[in-house]
Amino acid sequence: MSAINKFSRRLRIGLAKLFFDKKAKTKELDISKIDTIAFIIHDGRLGDTTIATLSFREIKKKYPDIKIAIICTQNVREILKYNRDVDEICCISGNFFKDIFIYKQFAKLKKILLIDFFEFDLRLFHFLTLRILNPYFLIGFYKSKYKFFNKSFEQNFNDKHFSLRHKLVLNFLNIDNPDLSYNIKFSKKEIIKAKQYINLAGQKFKLVLNPFASSKHRTLSIKQIEDLIFQIQKVKDVYFYILCPYGRTLNFCGILADQTCIVKHEGILSVAALISFCDFVISPDTSIIHIASAFNKKTIGLYLDFSDRAEKTDIIWGPNNINAKIINVDRQDLQLENDVKNIEVEKIVGLFLEMTK
């Protein structure tokens, strides 16, 4: 970002604070005045949403008469549409100017407690969105500089799992000792489709292999996938379900057709249903890792090397699952690029065999 753009951004935020950052009316929460607890899910993040399901469930157990509402994009709605703890899903496009009317309608005639996990400085449209929603009580993280937040958590979470942020919020809402497990529900349609895939494997050990992630540096190479399949099949009778989202392609050489199935999936719930019936998951993508955690599946998560960073992403977004282990990229004293393609297949296979003794 150029110096001019940085200055322009700071100016816009400064003006927004000047005109809209009014002091919160109260710092004390009276839960009896709340009829809706709303969560904003930013940037269509499925992993964040999977973790957030623990809060939906725990709030509903404690306060069954309070509605749970989610403000999110359409792809996030897909993972929540069968969740009985969620009363309302407010779908937005992600374009502020298109969504203004939606925000106004959502906030109309409601006493809202709004929870926003966004931890960075507010962007201009984010700032304006919160002001339009105008909640009765607003909870955030690292937002003490903004007057209109009623409660801001300022703890250092650099080496703490993201679920602990939810625990802090739940404790603030007088929910003690919350269950931090995730809660994913799907329909009979997804179950039937998953069982069709499962029947292909017969009695074989069933392994979901997800090679893809949002970044090319977190995506497995074709050679890694082939080597992983061949090396595991040498020592264990395994049937592989290889996840391939629509829009992606996989071209293998010599993969045994009776031992593998490339799963072209349209929706995240179809993947969740398949994982629920399988024995093991290997993935560099945290969304899949969190879904596997929801079902306590044995899992190997493949992560970059964060040893030289204050923020330990592999801990924050690690598997909340006692049956999971992770492998980080070994950069060999910075001689190798920080890329999961530099994780040795033998290391993955060795850990897999150790976990399936």
Q: What is the pLDDT of residue 21?
A: 75
Q: What percentage of the chain carries pLDDT values higher than 90?
A: 79
What was the pLDDT predicted at 1? 60
The full DSSP string for 34-65 is -SEEEEE-GGG-HHHHHHHHHHHHHHHHH-TT
Strand partners, 244: 264
Q: How large is the average pLDDT for residues 290-306?
A: 97
Mean pLDDT over residues 160-180, rounded?
Answer: 97
Quote the tokens at residue 66: 């309070």
Amino acid at 28: E
* Alpha carbon of residue 229 to chain centroid: 27
Cα(98)–Cα(96) distance, rounded to whole angstroms? 5
pLDDT of residue 142: 95
Query: Where does the pLDDT of residue 255 fall: very low under 50, low under 70, confident under 90, or very high at 90 and above?
Result: low
Enter the DSSP assignment of 2.
Answer: -
Average confidence (pLDDT) over 329-351: 94
For 53, the token pair is: 């399901």
The pLDDT of residue 247: 67
| Separation between Cα atoms, residue 4 and residue 150, nearest integer Å | 33
Q: What is the pLDDT of residues 210-229, one digit of tens each?
A: 999 989 999 999 999 999 99
Across the range 27-56, mean pLDDT stands at: 93
Domains of the chain: 29-172 (3.40.50.2000), 188-355 (3.40.50.2000)
Lowest mean pLDDT among 6-15, 220-229, 239-248: 6-15
3-state secondary structure of 190: helix
Q: pLDDT at position 216, please? A: 92
φ/ψ region of 95 (left if φ > 0, alpha if ψ in -120 to 50, else beta) reads beta
**pLDDT at residue 324 tops 90:** yes
Is residue 66 within 8 A of residue 45, CB to CB? The reply is no
Q: Say if CB 73 and CB 98 are below 8 A apart.
A: no
Q: What's 326's DSSP letter?
A: E
Percent of the chain with pLDDT over 70: 94
Q: What is the mean pLDDT of residues 147-157?
A: 95
The pLDDT value recorded for residue 136 is 93
Q: Identify the burial level of 184 via C-beta atoms within 10 angstroms of its C-beta, where 0-12 means exposed, 13-18 middle and 19 or more buried.
A: buried
Q: Name the residue with tokens 């003490």.
A: 144
pLDDT at 45: 86
Which of the four pLDDT bands, split at 50, 70 and 90, describes residue 121? confident
Mean pLDDT of the 256-275 span? 87
CB contact set of 256 (below 8 Å; sequence gap of 6+) = 233
- Indicate left, alpha or beta for 44 from its phi (over 0: left) and psi (-120 to 50: alpha): left
Question: pLDDT tens-digit profile of 78-120?
Answer: 999 999 999 999 999 989 999 999 999 999 878 999 999 999 8
Q: Looking at residue 125, what is its pLDDT?
A: 87
pTM of this structure: 0.92
**What mean pLDDT is predicted for residues 325-353?**
95
Q: For residues 255 and 350, what is the distance between their CA atoms, to the nearest angstrom? A: 21
| Helix/strand/coil for 276 | helix
Per-residue pLDDT band for 72 (boundaries 50, 70, 90) equals very high
Given this model, what pLDDT does residue 163 score? 97
CB neighbours (10 Å) of residue 26?
Answer: 11
Q: Give the whole-angstrom CA distance, residue 49 versus residue 56.
A: 10
pLDDT over 70 (residue 76): yes
Q: Which residues contact 20 (CB under 8 A, 6 or more apart)?
A: 127, 128, 131, 148
> What pLDDT, on the 0 to 100 scale, is given for residue 275?
98
Interatomic CA distance for residues 325 and 312, integer angstroms? 16
Question: Residue 171: its pLDDT value, please?
Answer: 98
Model pLDDT, residue 333: 82
